[in-house]
Structure 1
Amino acid sequence: MIKLNQKWQLRIICLLLAIVLWFVIINEQNPTSEGSFTVPVTVENLNSQYVATNVPKSIYVRLSGPRNTIINMGASDIKAYVDLANAQEGEMEVPIQVTIPKGTELKKQTLTSAKIYVDLYAVQEIPLTPHLAGKLPDNISISSLKMTPDKVVVSGARRLIKKVDRAIIDIPINNNDQDFSVMAPIHLVAADGTPVEGLEMTPWQSKVNVTLMANAVSKRGPVFVTTHGTPGSGLVVKRVAAIPDTVEVRGRADIVGTISGINLAPVNVEGITRSQEWELSAPAIDGAFFSPDTIKVSVEVGDPQ
């Protein structure tokens, strides 16, 4: 019986040694390795009435695992996301969750959370405002300008849509003296002329047909601008200035002769507490165009005296 027990003990020891040896060989053939991946961040479970902004586009992760697993992996095998099932309108900080393949370990993640902004989703149609980029020959003017389409549908965060003052289409004229057509891009700007980004546009460009005329006449005229509304905190409007304060008007003689100056849309100063600048587009007049067609307006506010 003693010899029999000794044989079983030897067999168990041999089995354990064989298992250990197998693991050693496997690890030598497929050792632990590390890999780095750039993974896009997606939004999960957000109610369709909302839209999320400021979500990171991607994060960097480092994983460890068996070499064969790591070298056969790609960014598409890893999932990075923010769960917005309980999102409400406003700013919130949410964790960035990462799902990794079985058998691997997450060693590093560049961003573990993000401050995002949740807005109500909105859609608005905005008419296009043409902006001439370049200069025509002295005796040439624009007889007609047609944009197709002449409106753009903007969608996305309501907070951003409220910032949009104009949808500008830049039309290169480049010393043309013949009628021409061009596909021109559309961009959204705030009241001060700065770009508004983060919104979807349909379409993102418009076809412009420009008809030119020869023997155009021109003259210079003053720029007139007014304000409406009342500044905040007991302040008053101290000074309003247009930059430049005169513009060239060019076109048909019978039209140009009737224009004594350019009247810009009134600037809304309701509630402002500091001096500000706006950027306004010249009004459209059939048979005549202004140069420049974009005017800066500076409004200075201060204590009443």
Structure 2
Amino acid sequence: MISRFRSLIQRNIAAKIVAILVAVILWGYVMNEQNPSTEGSFTAQVQLVNVPEGYKVTQGTDKVKITVRGARSLFVSNSDVNFEASVDLREAKSGKGEYKVRVKMPQGFELVDVQPGTVEVTLDPIVRRKVRADINVNGSPASGVTVAKVTQASSEVMVEGPSSAVKEVERLIGYVGLTSKNDADFALQVPLTAINADGKEVSGVTIQPATMYVTVQMARGLTKKIVTIHPVSEADLPAYLELVSIKPNPLQIEVAGAENIISGLTAVNTEKITLADVLQNTDKTVKLALPPGVTVTNHDVLVHIVVKDKKTGKSME
């Protein structure tokens, strides 16, 4: 039986081998004609994996184009959702960095290219710090009444957020609006806003708490007077610069107090203004340093600082 089977196999073996080869060639030809290999591309969302805690994460690109090669039938049976792109942040460090895109695709495809091949990711650490909080009083109270004292629950409030945003916060500010109905003491919760050195709101930070308890003491019979604002600065301007001028806006302000206190008052100073961070002409918001018993509706004043280069004499615009 076995010898007969062996004899059957070995009979005309050369012709049988040729027939098998021809069959394989014909099969490959038919498959190539009916289901040829081709190239195409898919789009995949870039997923960040192993993201470290305690950071705000920003990625420059959220999609990549994946070019692959494969049988035509594979392109018919697959779509974008079958392709995955990811960036591993296990070894990522604080700051900006370029990280390689990894691709996972259905079996049968050959990867040709990924564009972009890397994604820029920024890791901004979440930090906290206390920031000065100022309460401004705007508007006009009832006739014959003025603001005697504004008391806020705290002089500093905690700010939390990405390091770059928290670093930008110069101070927190809240506003109390006065109307003709305000003729007696009152208290309220004032919302706080984070602002930078230019007086613009800083977004992306959390203020804790977001409001401050403020009491406003009103007074009658106080004498009012218009006085000049006198800016006072520190002597810490960078050595290569020269101070040209510091001009307040407004130039004068209305103050109130007992007659014997303000009768001889002609000017009020600002708090000392640091110039260490002044590298060009700039505006700063500073507080007034009022004498005891003297009040104003708004303790804040804007000062315009002009500096020039000592060597060239040119203004630092």
Structure 2: runs of 5+ lacking an equivalent: 1-44, 65-75, 78-83, 105-115
| Contact in 2 for aligned 1:233/1:273 (Cα 8 Å) | no
1:130-164, CA deviations, whole angstroms, 9 ceiling, x for partnerless residues? 11122223521223323235531112233333322
Q: Structure 2 CA distance, aligned partners of 1:54 and 1:252?
A: 57
The alignment status of 1:197 with 2:203, answered yes or no, reads: yes
Q: Structure 2 CA distance, aligned partners of 1:116 and 1:255?
A: 60
Q: Structure 2 CA distance, aligned partners of 1:52 and 1:83?
A: 16
Q: Structure 2 CA distance, aligned partners of 1:82 and 1:252?
A: 69
The alignment status of 1:124 with 2:160, answered yes or no, reads: no
Q: 1:52 aligns with which of 53, 56, 60?
A: 56
Q: 2:160 aligns with which of 152, 155, 159?
A: 155
C-alpha displacement of 1:128: 2.2
| Number of equivalent positions | 252
Letter in structure 2 aligned against 1:190: N
Counterpart of 1:142 in structure 2 is: 147
Q: Structure 1 CA distance, aligned partners of 2:119 and 2:290?
A: 45
Q: Structure 2 CA distance, aligned partners of 1:222 and 1:132?
A: 19
1:246-289, CA deviations, whole angstroms, 9 ceiling, x for partnerless residues? 11112344444464422112332236432111111334666432
C-alpha displacement of 1:201: 1.3
The alignment status of 1:186 with 2:189, answered yes or no, reads: no
Counterpart of 2:234 in structure 1 is: 228
| Contact in 2 for aligned 1:225/1:264 (Cα 8 Å) | yes
Q: Structure 2 CA distance, aligned partners of 1:256 and 1:231?
A: 33
TM-score, normalised to structure 2's length?
0.61
Q: Rg: which structure is higher?
A: 2
TM-score, normalised to structure 1's length?
0.64
1:161-185, CA deviations, whole angstroms, 9 ceiling, x for partnerless residues? 3322222121122231122222210
Counterpart of 1:210 in structure 2 is: 216
**Distance of aligned partners of 1:235 and 1:287 in 2 relative to their CA distance in 1, 3 Å threshold:** closer
Deviates more, 1:225-234 or 1:288-297: 225-234
C-alpha displacement of 1:81: 8.7
> Over the residues paired in the alignment, what is the CA RMSD in angstroms?
4.4
Q: Structure 1 CA distance, aligned partners of 2:48 and 2:257?
A: 53
Counterpart of 2:274 in structure 1 is: 268
The alignment status of 1:244 with 2:250, answered yes or no, reads: yes
Q: Structure 1 CA distance, aligned partners of 2:274 and 2:150?
A: 29
**Distance of aligned partners of 1:289 and 1:45 in 2 relative to their CA distance in 1, 3 Å threshold:** same
1:40-96, CA deviations, whole angstroms, 9 ceiling, x for partnerless residues? x98852243xx226569xx799xxx99xxxxxxxxxxxx999754333232335689
Q: Structure 1 CA distance, aligned partners of 2:224 and 2:48?
A: 56
